[in-house]
Structure 1
Amino acid sequence: MTGMAGGGYVAGSDKPEIETLRLGFMPLTDCASLVMASVLGLDQKYGIRIVLSREQSWSGMRDRLARGELDCAQLLYAMVYAVQQGIGSLRMDMAVLMNLNQNGQSITLSRKLAGRGAVDGASLAALVAAEPRRFTFAHTFPTGNHALWLYYWLAAAGIDPLADANLATVPPSQMAPSLAAGHVDGFCAGEPWGARAVREGVGVTVATSQQVWPDHPGKALAATAAFVRKNPNTCRALVAAVLEAGRWIDASAANRDAAAEAIASPAFVNVPRELIRERMLGSYEDGLGRRWHDRHRLRFYGDGAATFPWLSDGMWFMTQHRRWGLLQYDPDYRAVAARVNRIALYREAAELSGTPLPSSDTRSSILIDGSVWDGRDPAAYAASFAARKSA
């Protein structure tokens, strides 16, 4: 490669094709590395300028990306694969440039349900079995991460989300108000919205997403395949800048605190800093008196493990789309993931930013129900859940 020295852009064939990038984000704690790449001037170090655009909904951001009104975006990882497969939208070839974070989402139930004894999956299942009405649980998008964490957690407790509950789509920032108004009985969303429900006394945290899958993938830095094809150097520079930002955030509690202060501002998440800070540092309270420090807290770098676009991560989301009937057939899971996740481009950006690389493009994980996911036989893995859905 030419044009980069010591991580910074100099000149040559690797010059970014465009210097100004319109980058969409949602007001969530896990937008932090995108914001800090701009705030710390890391984008300029690599010869680009990030112009951040605060979006109001996942579907709106997806559509703006498709229309070319945004160049790249913080998207729900699972949503990227839904667009790639044409689930719930027109099919479009997509690209995952990197994973932006791991962990840090939560499942919240109303204080009313908690008062009736629903404080975990097993006690909620007992209440669901005894209740004549169906409870309503909200997620942020039907094909997105939060829907899949919610479904997986419910199913692991013996609750079939499709047969035993009503499901609703609610914007992240409206989760706590919807819970307070009684429109929903629980929800799964990114922070700080679970923390807000606890802080306002309307909800209790009954599970974190890292309990469902420790060190699970979070949001993706995504673009259309056409944009990446036309602007590979620009995309490489963007990934390098965001990698450096994630490393800076994870480097110390002081940096996390500074990042929390930055993203709490009205331009980004627009909440009090403390609402972001505590769970960003791994300090949790459930609203029922229990406090703990989560060793699988939200992380933005993890020595490169949190940002690498693992093929097995992309395949897992497709298996869950298949499990819940969103995908009507078994695709060539690995081939699709290899097209979407731009590992070669990521490796180049990792080299520029000094980010360690794993020895494999897949990894193995144990989820909440004891199932092992390693990407070896995704079709069999997806089929194995038929009995578990209504177990």
Structure 2
Amino acid sequence: MIDSTSGRPDSLAWVAGSDAPEKSALNLGFMALTDSASLVVAATQGFAQPYGLTLNLQRQSSWAGLRDRLLSGELDAAQGLYGLIYGMQLGLGGAPATEMAVLMGLCQNGQSINLSAPLMRDGVTCAEALRQHARHNGAPLTLAHTFPTGTHALWLYYWLASHGIHPLRDVRSLVVPPAQMVEHLKAGRIDGFCAGGPWGALAVDEGLGFTLATSQQIWPDHPEKVLGTTRAFVEQYPNTARALVMSILDASRFIEASEDNLRGAAQLISGQEYVDAPLSSIEPRLLGRYQDGLGHAWQDAHPLRFFDGGQANFPWLSDGMWFMTQFRRWGLLREDVDYLGIARQVQQLALYRQAAEAVGVAVPSADMRRSTLIDGRTWDGSDPAGYAHSFELNALMERG
């Protein structure tokens, strides 16, 4: 289905020796999401074998289940929500604090906030209309996300707050696994959701709702899924962890090498054993081609990216720190923590640099990056505690 041999540098062939992986067969967890593509391509299209690895893909039904299997060792590594991995590190979200590791970023962008068809019929099709509805319509709307410390909760909260809607008071939140979002929307159990693809596009395609906002509108080129594991795994199997990053970097670069490769990846992951969704709901947004269900269509300037010259894969310290600032903002953390110190523990910068250099992927010279979000605020990692406390809408004054 995908010709993964074309364009691969000869220098990437695995040379056995002291760098050989300590563990050759890995159980790799993933969710039924478009942004699992680099894991699926790496595991099924020959990108792991040159590095002495066999990747056994194991689809998970919920982020909580994936978390528990990572902690038990049933999964060696997994596609993870950035906030999920940091929540595990900090002991948030119902699991004991465990030293975790972010090996690399898997993608940027590509999530969406969708609202229901009934809200569309009622004219709730923009932020101001949603704010008026949330403030003056009696019963609060129920908006779903995928995990309490996950990216989707935090994109949803950030977007709502940027438009004057308090996410903890003006709406009701519900945790729903991503692949169940459309079913919940159809049944009327939720009024909207924030999740990754293809579920936002599928809701539009089935006439069940519309896309109100994309996550890249909140933060262009934002961090999203990561390759996560426990710190214990990295310490026990350092060569294996490095080889795993190398194989997924190869697959990520291959996916974005051409539009044909993107289309091939869409076809592959649409299969029943992976995302199990119509190709028509996967491919367009993977190619950056959006239509929102309200009559608008566009080629997105910040589509789902798996590689982007390595920019999507570098585990920036500031990316990890940002999620902790939002934990603090919304009361998941009751006190400020050593934001930079924790990020230095979790983000495996040295290992990533070794892997990237070995496969010829450029690595930024700085460990932090500077970004401007939807509300005009700039995040650069320089003052995380001040940033967390600086928002007018937050939970800090309520929770202390």
Q: Tell me the residue number matched to 1:125.
A: 131
Aligned partner of 1:187 among 177, 182, 193: 193
Does the CA contact (< 8 Å) of 1:159 and 1:389 recur in 2? no
RMSD: 1.0
One-letter identity of the residue aligned with 1:46: Y
Does the CA contact (< 8 Å) of 1:17 and 1:231 recur in 2? yes
Aligned partner of 1:23 among 24, 28, 35: 28
Q: Distance in 1 between matches of 2:353 and 2:386?
A: 30
| Deviations 1:282-335, CA, capped at 9 Å, x for gaps | 011111111111010000000010000000000000000000000111111011
SS at match of 1:363: coil
Aligned partner of 1:55 among 51, 57, 60: 60
Deviation of 1:8 after TM superposition, in Å, equals 2.4
One-letter identity of the residue aligned with 1:215: D
Q: Distance in 2 between matches of 1:115 and 1:125?
A: 16
Q: Distance in 1 between matches of 2:72 and 2:305?
A: 31
One-letter identity of the residue aligned with 1:157: H
Does the CA contact (< 8 Å) of 1:315 and 1:375 recur in 2? yes
Aligned partner of 1:70 among 75, 81, 102: 75
Q: Distance in 1 between matches of 2:393 and 2:172?
A: 19
Aligned partner of 2:334 among 328, 333, 351: 328
Deviation of 1:388 after TM superposition, in Å, equals 2.9
Q: Distance in 1 between matches of 2:340 and 2:361?
A: 25
Deviation of 1:274 after TM superposition, in Å, equals 1.6
Verify: 1:313 aligned to 2:350, yes or no.
Answer: no
Does the CA contact (< 8 Å) of 1:121 and 1:153 recur in 2? no
Q: Distance in 1 between matches of 2:335 and 2:19?
A: 40
Q: Distance in 1 between matches of 2:162 and 2:250?
A: 37
Q: Tell me the residue number matched to 2:382.
A: 376
TM-score normalized by structure 2? Answer: 0.95
Kindly tell me the number of residue pairs found equivalent between the two proteins.
385
Deviation of 1:130 after TM superposition, in Å, equals 2.0
Aligned partner of 1:7 among 6, 12, 20: 12
Aligned partner of 2:289 among 270, 283, 292: 283
Q: Distance in 1 between matches of 2:267 and 2:319?
A: 31
Q: Tell me the residue number matched to 2:48.
A: 43
TM-score normalized by structure 1? Answer: 0.97
Kindly report which structure 2 residues correspond to 1:342-353, keeping only aligned pairs within 5 A, or say none.
342-353=348-359
Does the CA contact (< 8 Å) of 1:117 and 1:124 recur in 2? no
Deviation of 1:168 after TM superposition, in Å, equals 0.3
| Deviations 1:72-117, CA, capped at 9 Å, x for gaps | 0111111100010001211100000000000000000001112222
Runs of at least 5 residues in structure 1 that lack an aligned partner in the other structure: none
Q: Distance in 1 between matches of 2:189 and 2:195?
A: 16
Deviation of 1:7 after TM superposition, in Å, equals 2.0
In percent, how many aligned pairs have the same letter? 55
SS at match of 1:163: coil
SS at match of 2:290: strand
Runs of at least 5 residues in structure 2 that lack an aligned partner in the other structure: 1-9, 396-400
Q: Distance in 1 between matches of 2:154 and 2:384?
A: 16
